[in-house]
Amino acid sequence: MNKSPALLSTANSLLIIVDLQTKLSAVMPATEAKLITANAGSLVEAAVILNIPVLVTEQYPKGLGTTDTTIIQKLPEATPIFKKTGFSCCLAENFCNVLESSERKQIILTGLEAHVCVLQTALELLHNGYQVYVVEDAICSRKSVHKIYALQRMQQQGITIINHESVLFEWLRDASHPDFRSISGLLQ
């Protein structure tokens, strides 16, 4: 039986961490900020184990600081970090070139804020022919209602809303996967 093209595969996935910066996280609801950082961190660790590329963006780092250190510590040294002032990641210099050269079409998005940078990135990536998966428990906005409406809008446009555990288990596909123990150990 053939695998559904809607299921994530390690060979076709790429993880993007959108603006998960310390100063930006500080203005999010505290419990939610802690949860999304942990869930995004689990996705980064799994991506590293499974050799899935990770791209990181930082919105105006001069004012909002750099990516959260708990995320940075989990990334391979060569992970590209794109500084930007535009809200969509696609506006960051060289971002689209790096994304295209990966030859991966399933894009998993995490980060801040759901209704601004994540939303604009998701819509542009979808428009450019990517399968976009937004990890609902690894994104947030300052106001929860903004996240709710952003998720609704993205889903209405054909973007897949997913949670971090589904991503991990779709990457594994089977409990006999050689990395099952290490990946399942990342669950919160």
**Residue 44: which H helix or E strand, with range?**
helix 30-49
Enter the pTM of the model: 0.97
Residue bearing the bigger pLDDT, 102 or 2: 102
From 68, 74, 84, 137, active-site residue? 84
pLDDT at 44: 98
Number of other residues whose CB lies within 10 A of the CB of residue 176 = 7
pLDDT at 3: 81
131-140, strands of its sheet edge to edge? 81-84, 54-59, 13-18, 106-112, 131-140, 160-162
117 catalytic per annotation: yes
Residue 89 falls in the annotated catalytic set: no
Catalytic status, residue 84? yes
Do residues 18 and 118 lie in contact, with contact meaning Cβ atoms separated by under 8 Å?
Answer: yes
Specify the pLDDT at position 10.
Answer: 97
Domains and CATH numbers, the chain: 13-184 (3.40.50.850)
Query: What is the arithmetic mean of pLDDT over 88-94?
Result: 98
Over range 66-87, report the average pLDDT: 96
Quick one: pLDDT at residue 188?
Answer: 63
- For 13-156, strand residue ranges (E) read 13-18, 54-59, 81-84, 106-112, 131-140
Per annotation, catalytic residue among 90, 117, 137, 147? 117
Residue 62's identity, in one-letter code, is K
- Taking the C-alpha atoms of residue 5 and residue 86, their distance in angstroms, rounded to an integer, is 31
Whole-angstrom CA distances from 135 to 65, 87, 154, 155 are 23, 18, 12, 12
**What burial letters (b/e) apply to 79-107, b meaning 16+ CB within 10 Å?**
bebbebebbbbbbbeebbeebeeeebbbb
What's the DSSP call for residue 2? P
pLDDT band at 82 (very low <50, low <70, confident <90, very high): very high
CA distance from start to end of the chain = 32
